[in-house]
Structure 1
């Protein structure tokens, strides 16, 4: 799957690492409502181009997952500031 790396020279490998790091940082630095979104741009950094076949839970189960995710942030980042804005603000 990563055979393309074997053919890259040092400069190409450094460029690839920088591109991947930039994508990871963009994802890592998401905050507020951006934490909840589908991130195909991050997956697009991989050399294999696929159309991810995602499965979407029904609304009730999806919302329970959102609540659990938000609760996990309270446990994992208890000192994080509150982003008290609606989605469109």
Structure 2
């Protein structure tokens, strides 16, 4: 799956590492309502192109997952600033 790395020069590997790091930083730096979004741009950094069809939970189960995720942020980031800013499309 990662045979392309074997064929890259040192310089190409460095450029690839920088490109991947930038994509990870963009994902990491999401904040507020952006934390909840589907992130295909991150997956697009991989060389293997697929068109996965995600299984999307029905609304009640999906909302339970959102609540659990938000609760995990309380545990993992107890001192992070909080916002009551509205969601904007």
Q: Which runs of 5+ in 1 are unaligned?
A: none
SS in 2 for 1:26: helix
Superimposed CA distance per residue, residues 45-87 of structure 1 (whole angstroms, 9 cap, x where no aligned partner): 0000001220000000000100000000000000000121111
Structure 2 partner of 1:54: 54
Superimposed CA distance per residue, residues 9-56 of structure 1 (whole angstroms, 9 cap, x where no aligned partner): 011000000000000010011000000000000000000000122000
Structure 1 partner of 2:45: 45
Root-mean-square deviation (CA, aligned residues, Å) is 1.0
Question: Could you list the runs of 4 or more consecutive aligned residues of structure 1 that deviate by over 3 angstroms after TM superposition?
Answer: none
Name the TM-score, length of structure 2 as normaliser.
Answer: 0.97
CA distance in 1, matches of 2:83, 2:73: 13
CA distance in 2, matches of 1:74, 1:23: 25
